[in-house]
Amino acid sequence: MSGIIGKKVGMTRLIQDDGRVIPVTVLVCEPSEVAQVKTVDKDGYPAIVLGFSKLKKPTKTKKYKLMKEFRINEDEQENYKKGDQITVESLQDVETVKISSVSKGKGFQGVIKRHNFSRGPETHGSHHHREPGSIGACAKPGRVHKGKKMPGRMGGAQVTLGKVKIAHLDTKKHIVALTGPVPGPNGGLVIIKL
């Protein structure tokens, strides 16, 4: 199995027997349904499409809250059929996973918050406090180069973290606890890849 979809609940901590405290993020991974099985003959590559959280009023084209494609090996495609349920039991023998989710949107931000710029002096008649400063080079380029760190929209982008350890797994309640923080708000969807 190459992955599963979950919903972020929030952060808590696990206290070990030796007194160590491990911060964890709790995810609820309800069973995902195999919506489509892609094969080499028909689609050119093997993959499965998982549907997460069935809608109460499905339309002709949209039946799930989120659909995500996971690549699989060619010899694995016989193991999956349309309508199969993928649960957290597929993560039982796994130690680390790769997670992807959309980070919290922070709106339009200045360069100090967005790019860690230093501020200017606050006293002695200085008018340069939180401004970005000079943005141009010289007369030679005569323009501002692409990719210049400027104020703008911050957050709300897809963030991927690799080698995140699984701290706890509860197959009955469909709960996965990952060590450390996971990007995105509580209630946000998280894609877990093996």
Domain interval for residue 24: 1-30+87-117+151-194
Domain count, the chain: 2
124 within a domain of the structure (yes/no):
no
Residue 17 shares a structural domain with residue 47: no
132 within a domain of the structure (yes/no):
no
135 within a domain of the structure (yes/no):
no
Residue 93 shares a structural domain with residue 163: yes
Query: Residue 135 is which amino acid?
Result: I
Residue 75 shares a structural domain with residue 93: no
Domain closes at, from 40, 67, 86: 86
122 within a domain of the structure (yes/no):
no
Residue 156 shares a structural domain with residue 76: no
Query: Which residues, including other chains, have CB under 8 Å from residue 146's CB and lie 6 or more apart?
Result: none
pTM of the model: 0.83
49 within a domain of the structure (yes/no):
yes
Q: Which CATH number does the domain housing residue 157 bear?
A: 2.40.30.10
16 within a domain of the structure (yes/no):
yes
Can you give the pLDDT at residue 74?
A: 83
Residue 194 shares a structural domain with residue 155: yes
Residue 74 shares a structural domain with residue 93: no
Query: Which residues, including other chains, have CB under 8 Å from residue 7's CB and lie 6 or more apart?
Result: 27, 28, 29, 30, 53, 187, 188, 189, 190
Residue 75 shares a structural domain with residue 36: yes
End-to-end CA distance of the chain: 8
Strand (E) or helix (H) holding 167: strand 158-170
Strand (E) or helix (H) holding 13: strand 3-15
Question: CA Rg, the chain, in Å?
Answer: 23
Residue 4 shares a structural domain with residue 76: no
Whole-angstrom Cα distance, residue 32 to residue 53?
7
Whole-angstrom Cα distance, residue 63 to residue 55?
6
Residue 22 shares a structural domain with residue 97: yes
Strand 64-71 and strand 107-109: pairing? unpaired
Contact 159, 102 (CB under 8 A): yes
In order along its 194 residues, the chain shows pLDDT tens digits of: 688 999 999 999 999 999 999 999 999 999 999 998 998 888 899 999 999 888 899 888 888 988 999 998 888 878 888 888 888 988 888 899 999 999 999 999 999 999 999 999 999 999 999 999 988 888 988 999 999 999 999 999 999 999 999 999 999 999 999 999 999 999 999 999 98
131 within a domain of the structure (yes/no):
no
User: How many beta carbons lie within 10 A of that of residue 30, not counting itself?
Assistant: 16
Residue 9 shares a structural domain with residue 57: no
